[in-house]
């Protein structure tokens, strides 16, 4: 919302969700047309080894572009501890269906976090000064916003794995599940985006929790829930990365020893990458434009256009012809804009309104006039 402008951002969010829904169904249709049951084999049969190699690189790299003086409460120690204790054991599962209950827990926690964000838009929002351009229709960084939205909706890399885990996998059943899932996802995303941006407008960070004050106990609980959702979600990404590695180098089958070694290696490298950065915004943008955009918009459309024998006027082909160039634009221009104009990052520092002199969450008597006056002084230097 901050990058695109609130009204345009809402429209883009629905647009990305619609394209995601369409492309997920398109992938399974492409698999049916080509007689394949994995993303890699679909692209390999359609575009040969070069396409297969490109897709494998994108699928393999996607999960890696992620995210006090006492070392035992520091960020690095917590990341290592949670990885070894929770992420690694969950990632060692061989059957993706076993992660279903874990994903359900993550969904419940997401609902709790959403409730916290909605609560704070009422109790905290009126005390945060609004930026001047908060409600303009569109902003020049809209393509960057599309990159972040693409990251939020990407699930194509494990599309065939989930499809294959269904008791009776059919295109009709898959379409029904996808429509329902995308509808729920976009509903949650719109609520998150609206409540978060309504609270902080131009001060909104790439990681929304960076906007809240450390003394806010309710939000601290929300941060904990968010950390748990990441821990429970990452094994799905690791599953795909490991499958790509197994397919490319071991013919698709791993022994028990190789399974453990490769899983440990993937988790270790991903953990090391996460320790090197604390800015979520640029991570979401780069992952969105470099990996999510081609996996959502470009590759499914290209495969279907080459495999389908439907006439050019068929609705699926028309949509594919629209999605493919749009994805290319988002990928190229989004990458350039993400590098030349990265999102602001506070590196964990408290926002100015959390200072006792400016705003106290337990004392909301500070006048809006005082905050507005201080804003003119702080606005130019807050992110330096």
**pLDDT tens per residue, range 112-135:** 999 999 999 999 988 888 888 888
Please tell me the predicted confidence (pLDDT) of residue 80: 84
Residue from 116, 78, 127 nearest 351 by CA: 127
Residue 73 has pLDDT above 60, yes or no: no
Contact 62, 291 (CB under 8 A): yes
The 3-state DSSP composition of the chain as helix, strand, coil percent (nearest 5) reads 75, 0, 25
Q: Which backbone phi and psi does 363 adopt, to 5 degrees?
A: -135, 95
Q: What is the pLDDT of residue 283?
A: 77
- CA 288-148-211 angle, 5° bins: 135
What is the structure's pLDDT at 116?
94
Q: Tell which wins on pLDDT, 333 or 274.
A: 333
Contacts of 229 (CB under 8 A, 6+ apart): 106, 109, 110, 113
Check whether 1 has a pLDDT greater than 60.
yes
pLDDT tens for 35-58 read 988 888 888 899 898 888 888 888
Count of positions (residues) in the chain: 384
For 217-242, what is each residue's pLDDT tens digit?
999 999 999 888 888 888 877 887 88
Three-state secondary structure along 246-306? HHHHHCCCCCHHHHHHHHHHHHHHHHHHHHCCCCHHHHHHHHHHHHHHHHHHHHHHHHHHH
Q: Kindly list the domain boundaries of the chain, sorted by start residue.
A: 6-66, 75-340
Is the pLDDT reported for residue 72 higher than 50? Answer: no
Token output for 81: 């501890």
Nearest to 100 by CA among 110, 87, 90: 90
Task: Please tell me whether residue 363 adopts helix, strand or coil conformation.
Answer: strand
Over residues 354-381, mean pLDDT = 44
Q: Is 198 exposed, middle or buried (0-12, 13-18, 19+ CB in 10 A)?
A: buried
Per-residue pLDDT for 195 more than 90?
A: yes
CA dihedral (80, 262, 277, 200) positive or negative: negative
- How large a percentage of the chain has pLDDT more than 70? 86
pLDDT surpasses 80 at 60 = no
Q: Is the dihedral of CA 297, 231, 227, 104 positive or negative?
A: positive
Q: Write down the mean pLDDT value for the chain.
A: 81
Per-residue buried b or exposed e for 99-127, using 16+ beta carbons within 10 Å of the residue's own CB: beebeeebeebbebbbebbbebbeebeeb
Give me the torsion for CA of 26, 28, 32, 37, rounded to 10°. 140
- Average pLDDT (144-151) is 86
- In this predicted structure, what is the pLDDT of residue 303? 92
Split at pLDDT 50, 70, 90, the class of 64 is: low
């Amino acid at each position: 919302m901050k990058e695109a402008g609130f009204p345009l951002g809402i429209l883009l969010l629905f647009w990305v969700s619609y394209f995601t829904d369409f492309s997920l169904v398109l992938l399974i249709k492409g698999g049916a047309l080509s007689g394949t049951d994995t993303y890699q084999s679909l692209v390999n049969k359609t575009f040969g080894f070069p396409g297969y190699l490109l897709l494998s690189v994108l699928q393999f790299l996607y999960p890696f572009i992620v995210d006090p003086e006492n070392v035992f409460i520091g960020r690095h120690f917590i990341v290592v501890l949670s990885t070894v204790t929770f992420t690694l054991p969950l990632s060692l599962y061989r059957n993706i269906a076993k992660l279903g209950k874990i994903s359900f827990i993550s969904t419940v926690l997401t609902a709790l976090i959403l409730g916290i964000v909605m609560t704070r838009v009422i109790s905290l929002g009126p005390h945060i000064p609004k930026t001047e351009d908060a409600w303009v229709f569109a902003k020049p960084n809209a393509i960057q916003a599309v990159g972040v939205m693409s990251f939020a909706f990407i699930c194509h890399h494990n599309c065939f794995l989930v499809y294959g885990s269904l008791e009776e996998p059919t295109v009709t059943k898959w379409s029904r599940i996808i429509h329902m899932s995308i509808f729920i996802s976009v509903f949650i995303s719109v609520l998150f985006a609206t409540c978060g941006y309504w609270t902080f407008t131009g001060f909104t960070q790439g990681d929304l929790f960076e906007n809240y004050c450390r003394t806010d106990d309710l939000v601290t609980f929300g941060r904990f829930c968010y950390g748990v959702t990441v821990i429970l979600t990452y094994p799905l990404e690791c599953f795909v990365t490991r499958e790509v590695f197994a397919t490319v180098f071991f013919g698709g089958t791993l022994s028990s020893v190789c399974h453990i070694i490769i899983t440990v290696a993937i988790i270790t490298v991903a953990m090391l990458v996460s320790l090197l950065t604390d800015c979520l915004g640029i991570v979401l943008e780069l992952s969105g434009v470099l990996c999510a955009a081609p996996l959502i918009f470009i590759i499914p459309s290209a495969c279907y256009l080459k495999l389908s024998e439907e006439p050019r006027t068929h609705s699926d082909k028309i949509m594919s012809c629209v999605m493919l160039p749009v994805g290319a634009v988002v990928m190229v221009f989004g990458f350039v804009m993400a590098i030349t104009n990265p999102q602001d990052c506070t590196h964990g520092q408290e926002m100015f309104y959390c200072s006792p002199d400016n705003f106290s969450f337990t004392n909301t008597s500070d006048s809006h006039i005082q905050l507005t006056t201080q804003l003119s002084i702080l606005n130019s230097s807050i992110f330096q």
